[in-house]
Homo-oligomer: A and B are copies of this chain.
């Protein structure tokens, strides 16, 4: 097997250790008089991807999914996971020790409240829950006469003997030619928002926000180049950046010397106490900030004002430079994908390629293409979902040496992947038919694929006025599946950062997406369909929200999306009888644009160029 630089296919799950570890945790609970321990999968900054040293939930249970919450009682332990992870969690944990419960059927807080007795104490690590969460849990438990108490240090840390050390990679600058705005300008935006509240400081707790604000990036978290740290911006005067002092090279401290004091993370608590003693009014996002930070502020006498992190919105609305960078990064990424799909069409036709080999090959094409034509690949933007046949129906499938299987002729292959380039972050999914020339997908596959495609096209083409939210747009992508009695159990789109996190708000396209779309936002457009035990279909492009424009004087201004992702969709899977003429025209136009954009980057690669020509030719009825 080829080696991979950016991802591991080992199954690191150790379900066999759960019994012993949870027993040890229960001893600590006993010693502290706790009837329950609540452990969500997150870190002190609420990241989605965690450092190995923050993977407490995986260490304790064996479950390696990206979202979950464990409640340990004296006689019982329950792991709550969402629909993406019910199958995986059941496979990964020891069912004798831990019961897996879907959150859709069991709200963890209600489940716990039902099991608490009058006077009982449930404990949690106040670095791992937000103020808003703690308030909700506390209220529910208090109704049962129970209490919800913060416990530090985290008892899991005390048990975790072979805990990996935190990563030590240095912080580096994200130059203005990529960011499109100097730190001073960003601070001005933040201060303007601050002036609209009655707070005199803002404490920024999101790592994407701090990284964006100071135009810095880091090596702490796999796939997401954020800097782990906090920042504090006063209404007037120097900002403060709290990070590990050993991670700040000269170049960074110099670049920030006029706008911010760089302080060690250890100094944050003292600084917050000082603010409290001075009676400061601190803007904090209670839905995000760790309870512990708010507890410190409260105790010290600060007034906290709750409100959205003022970086969220300007960070989501990409600058001209970020938009231009995204276009270039997507062309580079599309060229790599074209090389991969061209290779796959032949190599996999006889069933001789497996999921890991495909993922490794795709990574190699990304590394190699980037080296040839521009910014190097910094990292993948997440672990590649390389899913053959029935694995495609597991929405967040991650191939391991244990689950690995070949791409078999006659099956579908779903590949969801992306790259972190310094000029932009990509995230793209294609579903292709595997098999030798002449072999055809069956009618049902084609019908399902085409219904998904129609939804993807509807979102790509929609025009909409200011004020439109993701909840408004979501049904446009689902309507064709709905009409056929079908649907998919995930959102239609998530915001994407600029050389930052591949999942970034505030906008998303889903039933409950409340943020309004604004020019410059980059979002995924990824409807899907999943037939358990058979196959999964997902087609994902990133789309950039355009400035509103008016086409005629008596019309209104409408926004629309520019599709950034450049990669053909598999024409063998399209049922042409289900496409309307205007949908076909859109797809032909998209393919023409893909061919024009990628061809120059593939010069000299005759095989891929010929493949691209075929893949992007106009559709025939």
Q: A residues within 8 Å of B by Cβ?
A: 143, 198, 462-465, 467-469, 471-476, 479, 482-487, 511-512, 550-552, 555-556, 558, 580
Complex Cα distance A464/B479, Å?
Answer: 8
In the complex, the answer to whether B551 meets A485 with C-beta atoms within 8 Å is: yes
CB neighbours (8 Å) of A580 from chain B are: 580
In the complex, the answer to whether B469 meets A511 with C-beta atoms within 8 Å is: yes
CB proximity of A462 to chain B, nearest CB, Å: 7
In the complex, the answer to whether A467 meets B558 with C-beta atoms within 8 Å is: no
Q: Which of B475, B483, B486, B551 contacts A473 (CB 8 A)?
A: B475
In the complex, the answer to whether B464 meets A482 with C-beta atoms within 8 Å is: yes
CB proximity of A200 to chain B, nearest CB, Å: 13
Q: Which of B467, B486, B511, B555 contacts A467 (CB 8 A)?
A: B511
Complex Cα distance A556/B478, Å?
Answer: 13
CB proximity of A479 to chain B, nearest CB, Å: 7
In the complex, besides A468-B475, A471-B472, 16 extra interface pairs with C-beta distance below 8 angstroms are A462-B475, A462-B479, A465-B487, A467-B511, A469-B511, A469-B512, A472-B475, A472-B511, A475-B476, A485-B550, A485-B551, A485-B552, A485-B556, A485-B558, A487-B556, A580-B580
CB neighbours (8 Å) of A475 from chain B are: 462, 464, 468, 472-473, 475-476
In the complex, the answer to whether B555 meets A486 with C-beta atoms within 8 Å is: yes
CB neighbours (8 Å) of A550 from chain B are: 485
In the complex, the answer to whether B485 meets A555 with C-beta atoms within 8 Å is: yes
Number of copies: 2
- A485 with B472, Cβ < 8 A, contacts A143-B198, A198-B143 known: no
Instruction: Point out which of A465, A473, A512 has the most chain B C-beta atoms below 10 A from its C-beta.
Output: A465
CB proximity of A452 to chain B, nearest CB, Å: 15
What 9 A-B pairs are tightest by C-beta distance, nearest first?
Answer: A485-B555, A471-B471, A472-B475, A463-B482, A143-B198, A465-B487, A485-B551, A464-B482, A463-B483
Chain B's closest residue to A444 (CB) is B554
Instruction: Point out which of A467, A469, A552 has the most chain B C-beta atoms below 10 A from its C-beta.
Output: A469
CB neighbours (8 Å) of A479 from chain B are: 462, 476
Would you mind naming 5 contact pairs between A and B with Cβ atoms under 8 Å apart? A462-B483, A463-B483, A464-B475, A468-B511, A476-B476
Q: Which of B462, B484, B511, B555 contacts A484 (CB 8 A)?
A: B555
CB proximity of A352 to chain B, nearest CB, Å: 32
CB proximity of A358 to chain B, nearest CB, Å: 29
Complex Cα distance A471/B510, Å?
Answer: 11
CB neighbours (8 Å) of A558 from chain B are: 482, 485
In the complex, the answer to whether B469 meets A482 with C-beta atoms within 8 Å is: no
CB neighbours (8 Å) of A473 from chain B are: 475
In the complex, the answer to whether B198 meets A486 with C-beta atoms within 8 Å is: no
CB neighbours (8 Å) of A463 from chain B are: 482-483, 485
Complex Cα distance A473/B482, Å?
Answer: 12
Complex Cα distance A162/B29, Å?
Answer: 73
CB neighbours (8 Å) of A471 from chain B are: 469, 471-472
Complex Cα distance A162/B552, Å?
Answer: 53
Complex Cα distance A551/B485, Å?
Answer: 7
CB proximity of A381 to chain B, nearest CB, Å: 29
CB proximity of A454 to chain B, nearest CB, Å: 13
Complex Cα distance A464/B474, Å?
Answer: 12
CB neighbours (8 Å) of A552 from chain B are: 485
Chain B's closest residue to A476 (CB) is B475
Complex Cα distance A175/B378, Å?
Answer: 72
Complex Cα distance A468/B551, Å?
Answer: 33
Complex Cα distance A511/B470, Å?
Answer: 10
CB neighbours (8 Å) of A487 from chain B are: 465, 556
CB neighbours (8 Å) of A469 from chain B are: 471, 511-512
Complex Cα distance A512/B468, Å?
Answer: 9
Complex Cα distance A468/B468, Å?
Answer: 17
- A482 with B511, Cβ < 8 A, contacts A472-B475, A475-B472 known: no
Chain B's closest residue to A549 (CB) is B485
CB proximity of A135 to chain B, nearest CB, Å: 15
Complex Cα distance A580/B483, Å?
Answer: 16
CB neighbours (8 Å) of A486 from chain B are: 555-556
In the complex, the answer to whether B476 meets A462 with C-beta atoms within 8 Å is: no
CB neighbours (8 Å) of A462 from chain B are: 475, 479, 482-483
CB proximity of A194 to chain B, nearest CB, Å: 14
CB neighbours (8 Å) of A512 from chain B are: 469
Complex Cα distance A555/B531, Å?
Answer: 10
Chain B's closest residue to A140 (CB) is B198
CB neighbours (8 Å) of A555 from chain B are: 484-486
Complex Cα distance A147/B479, Å?
Answer: 51
Complex Cα distance A486/B479, Å?
Answer: 22
